[in-house]
Amino acid sequence: MIGAMQDWPLLVSRLIEHARTNHGDREVVALAVEGGTVRSNWRTIADRAHRFGSALETLGIRHGDRVATLAWNTHRHVESWYAISGVGAVAHTINPRLFHEQIAYIANHAEDRILAFDLSFLAMVEKLAPELTTIEHYILLTDRAHMPANSSLDLLCYEDLVAAGDPDHAWAVIDENSPAGLCYTSGTTGNPKGVLYSHRSNVLHAMTAASGDCFAMGVNTSVLPIAPMFHANAWAIPYVAALTGAKLVLNGGNFDAPTLHKLIIDEGVTLSLAVPTVWLSVLQYLEKSGGNLGLLKRVAIGGSAVPRFMVEAFQRDYGVTVSHLWGMTEMSPLGTLGTLCPRVSAMDEAERIDHQLKQGRAVFGVEMKIVGEDHAELPRDGKAFGRLLVRGPWIVSRYFKGDGGDVLDRDGWFDTGDVATIDPNGYMQIVDRSKDVIKSGGEWISSIELENAAVGAPGVAEAAVIGIAHPKWDERPLLLVRQKDGASVSKESVLAYLDGKIAKWWTPDDVLVVDDLPHTATGKLLKTELRARYKDYKLPTA
Ligand code: AMP
């Protein structure tokens, strides 16, 4: 016997149709790449998505074809995103911050048939085009007035296609397990690998993301996802905003603190999401300008660990709650979120913040466990740490085209590559990436914890810790710090600051003040590059 309820495929197009029907006049506001602000709403976004969808079909796009975008978070990107998946094709969001060779590799690997891109990337795409072997059409995401007079490419104009599109177009009726989106991992080693999201996985993920202990979004929310759509779907916000009828605020290609701050104030933003480096610059700007954060109630921070001073500054100085989250491209991206449960809420402030610094509790739809070297599960005691494995309906089952072979174990668990603890209240804490943990005298030192402690030192803007070969201990930590403008940081000042804040044996064997630290295209410290740079470094203790 099977249940007797309706079969209603979970399609991404349902989200935009729901927003059109029930939240049609709720605003979508975007800073345009051409300059100025575009004020739209869900009805208009949905109508234009349909028109663009019909244009894609006229251009020959069919079920399963890949259509790539190279674009910031804008209204046109949201429209084209929904249009591509809506016609049954795959929205392949490419990260424009990748090296050119990586972009060419990714577009060719994905066999993208169309590339739709922002005006800001015109020169880059013209240069890349000879390397792109499968693109049949280039669409510039702009209006007629901004089309270039000369280009080496045969360009189609987005607004022309929308204007000529069919207003009565209907979305494809397809199986909910059909692919909807494609995102390549940033790949700190080897070639990037594609994660192929399905309609079903995206809709289920959005439903959980909207819920109370996740983003707690509703029709009264005004949300600014600063996390880009090319990085794990802007953490699903363009989906969740449509599902809940939230006002969607988009920052275009603007990541400077004054612009973000103005947007938060002007658009009554109540929830915003970004990586720690973005919030660092916003907090520094506020410190200088003396402003406030208006109606902002909550910031969701993830992508790398949130430092303590950031939680304290948001909550104490601005009355904004921090939701620390952890996830990855392979997880759509949501895995855990640091909402306080009653037992933790009852603790004193310092302990509550200790818990907020952990990466959080599993959301519904994500199973997780930690395992030791022998693959046996470790206790949830907050002390034992091991490889973090996950399982669930929006977690990758294999990379696109089978790259990397089998990525699940016998029981269907995916190894995240992170090393973590889980405490008795269910809070997971990332100790390190398994590749980055420092193995000293048979014990592990967490590079992340050391970095978090070091960024609290006066004058330190950013810190990175890597393991350096040591004749006695196997590896010992080397701390690299970048100082804030005008500061004068020294090895002695940093070590004096760390004294008493970390276990004695974790104390870095050396501290170097450097001009710059390398980052990946998604803003994470590029440890492989640092390890290569300091491969032959001799520690003073060696
Ligand atoms: P990506 O797929 O580029 O989003 O990278 C995912 C990886 O980023 C995870 O496996 C973690 O190593 C790291 N990461 C994400 N969120 C956090 C966080 N809140 N704290 C520490 N590391 C994080």
**pLDDT tens track for 444-462:** 888 988 998 999 999 999 9
Residue 433 Cα: closest atom of ligand 1: 12
Confidence of residue 524 (pLDDT cuts 50, 70, 90): confident
- pLDDT of the residue at 435: 85
- pLDDT of the residue at 301: 97
- Would the pLDDT of 380 be above 60? yes
Those residues with Cβ within 8 angstroms of residue 304's Cβ, 6 or more apart along the chain or in another chain: 275, 276, 523, 524, 525
Residue 360 Cα: closest atom of ligand 1: 19
Which tokens is 17 given?
Answer: 């149709």
pTM: 0.91
Residues 291-317 pLDDT 10s? 999 999 999 999 988 989 999 999 999
- Would the pLDDT of 188 be above 60? no
The pocket around ligand 1, CB under 6 angstroms, is made up of: 185-186, 232, 302-305, 324, 326, 328-329, 333, 359, 416-418, 430, 433, 522
What's the Rg (C-alpha) of the chain? 24
From 189, 326, 356, mutation site for ligand 1 pocket: most ligand atoms within 8 A of C-beta: 326
- Centroid of ligand 1 to alpha carbon of 304 (angstroms): 5
Indicate the average pLDDT of the chain: 95
CA angle, 171 as apex, 169 and 177 as ends, to 5°? 165
Ranges of beta strands (E only) in 400-509 are: 414-422, 428-433, 438-440, 443-445, 460-470, 474-483
Residues 204-222 pLDDT 10s? 999 999 999 999 999 999 9
- pLDDT of the residue at 189: 60
- Would the pLDDT of 11 be above 80? yes
Tell me the mean pLDDT in the region 395-400.
Answer: 98
Does residue 389 sit in helix, strand or coil? strand
Those residues with Cβ within 8 angstroms of residue 43's Cβ, 6 or more apart along the chain or in another chain: 20, 24, 25
Domain 436-533 is found in CATH 3.30.300.30: yes
Q: Nearest C-alpha to atom 8 of ligand 1 is from which residue? A: 303
- Centroid of ligand 1 to alpha carbon of 380 (angstroms): 21
Confidence of residue 187 (pLDDT cuts 50, 70, 90): low
Q: Which amino acid is at 286?
A: L
- Centroid of ligand 1 to alpha carbon of 359 (angstroms): 10
Residues 87-106 pLDDT 10s? 999 999 999 988 899 999 99
Residues 37-69 pLDDT 10s? 999 999 999 999 999 999 999 999 999 999 999
Q: Nearest C-alpha to atom 20 of ligand 1 is from which residue? A: 305
Residues 232-250 pLDDT 10s? 999 999 999 999 999 999 9
- Centroid of ligand 1 to alpha carbon of 430 (angstroms): 9
- Would the pLDDT of 287 be above 60? yes
From 185, 197, 328, mutation site for ligand 1 pocket: most ligand atoms within 8 A of C-beta: 328
- Would the pLDDT of 6 be above 70? yes
- Would the pLDDT of 542 be above 90? no
DSSP element (H, E) containing 14: helix 12-22
Q: Where are the domains of the chain?
A: 436-533
- Centroid of ligand 1 to alpha carbon of 172 (angstroms): 34
Catalytic residues: 185, 330, 439, 444
- pLDDT of the residue at 520: 83
Residues 116-175 pLDDT 10s? 999 999 999 999 999 999 999 999 999 999 999 999 999 999 999 999 999 999 999 999
Tell me the mean pLDDT in the region 403-428.
Answer: 96
Contact 468, 480 (CB under 8 A): no
